[in-house]
Amino acid sequence: MCLSTALALVCIVPAATPAAAGSSACTHHWSGPQVCIRLEGRNGFNAVTAIWTNPPKTVKARTVRLTLDGDQLGNARSARRVGGTISHKWSAFEQGTGVKVCVRFTSINRAACETTKYVGNRRS
Stated pTM of the model? 0.78
Summarize pLDDT for 78-118 with one digit per residue, the tens. 999 999 999 999 999 999 999 999 999 999 999 999 999 98
Summarize pLDDT for 72-89 with one digit per residue, the tens. 999 999 999 999 999 999
Virtual torsion, Cα 66, 72, 77, 44, nearest 10 deg: -40
Q: Residue 102, Cβ neighbours under 10 Å: how many?
A: 21
Phi and psi dihedrals of 16, rounded to 5?
-85, -15
Domain definitions of the chain by residue range: 21-115
Beta bridge partner(s), residue 105: 64
Q: What is the CATH number of domain 21-115?
A: 2.60.40
> CA-to-CA distance for 115 and 100, rounded, in angstroms?
4
* Of 91, 89, 94, nearest in space to 42 by CA: 94
pLDDT at residue number 1: 44
77 touches 89 (CB < 8 A): no
70 touches 103 (CB < 8 A): no
